[in-house]
Amino acid sequence: MEKIYHKSLPEKTADGISDFIYRENYGAGAKLPGEKELAAMLEVSRNTVREAIRILAEKKVVEVRRGAGTFVSSRRGLSDDLLGLSLVSDKKKLVRDLLELRLLIEPRMAAMAAERASAAQIARLKELFLKMEKEWLAGHIYFEQDMEFHTFIAGCSGNLVVHSLLPPIQQAILLQENVTGKRLGKKTVEAHRRILAAIEGRRSCEAQDAMTVHLIQNQERILELMREK
């Protein structure tokens, strides 16, 4: 006779926290309530909440930032190389193909973000942009901030399936950095400013167009730099 598996209390609590994330439409980067509040909400001890958070962190549903709190992960529940892209030997062709993929999905994500993002998510998106702009003004490479900006927009779309497409997008950005020698610059910052303004203003068509123009400009610049190498 097959043994029936019963979930432990921390596992049930992890399920409860996951349900809360989806029910409240928490997008990538959103901060969860503290241990005390979650414990009261789910009627469990803080130790149980801690165990549940550890389970969710292992599944990449959340990420724990020491001293800052617990946040919804931008790679929710997925491996870093879901499609096995790291095994592709022709990295330049992979970049071209991933750029095409981004053009197919990211403009629509931006439009959906303009329609669906909460006020808190828009505020967070603005923070991410300012952080990236600060890095650029200081003359630093802002790859991580660029990646976070794009993946957060995808999370703001409110479509749960979108999260399965984030790792390839992140891989595309990473490969662009490697292939182009990290030369993105002022145009990227300006493009992100336009995308942010459109999402903040709830102008979905404008957000879609701004993202399309940004990705096409990126594509042209990256392909040109690839030809030079």
CA–CA distances in Å: residue 36 to residues 13, 26, 32, 40, 48: 13, 19, 11, 6, 11
Q: What is the 3-state secondary structure (H, E, C) of the chain?
A: CCCCCCCCHHHHHHHHHHHHHHHCCCCCCCECCCHHHHHHHHCCCHHHHHHHHHHHHHCCCEEEECCCEEEECCCCCCCCCCCCHHHCCCHHHHHHHHHHHHHHHHHHHHHHHHHHCCHHHHHHHHHHHHHHHHHHHCCCCCHHHHHHHHHHHHHHCCCHHHHHHHHHHHHHHHHHHHHHCCCCCHHHHHHHHHHHHHHHCCCHHHHHHHHHHHHHHHHHHHHHHHHHC
> What's the mean pLDDT in 83-110?
80
Bigger pLDDT: 172 or 68? 68
* Predicted TM-score of the model (pTM): 0.64
Token pair 């990705």 is found at 215
Question: Tens digit of pLDDT for each residue in 106-116?
Answer: 999 999 999 99
With 50 as the cut, is the pLDDT of residue 4 above it? no
Question: Tens digit of pLDDT for each residue in 97-151?
Answer: 888 888 999 999 999 999 999 999 999 999 999 999 998 888 887 777 888 898 8
With 90 as the cut, is the pLDDT of residue 75 above it? no
> What's the mean pLDDT in 53-62?
88
Q: Domains in the chain, please, with CATH? A: 9-72 (1.10.10.10), 85-228 (1.20.120.530)
With 60 as the cut, is the pLDDT of residue 182 above it? no
> What's the mean pLDDT in 65-87?
70
> What's the mean pLDDT in 7-12?
89
Q: Percentage of residues in the chain with pLDDT exceeding 70?
A: 81
> What's the mean pLDDT in 16-30?
82
For residue 173, what pLDDT is reported?
62
Q: Could you tell me the pLDDT band of residue 5, with boundaries at 50, 70 and 90?
A: very low
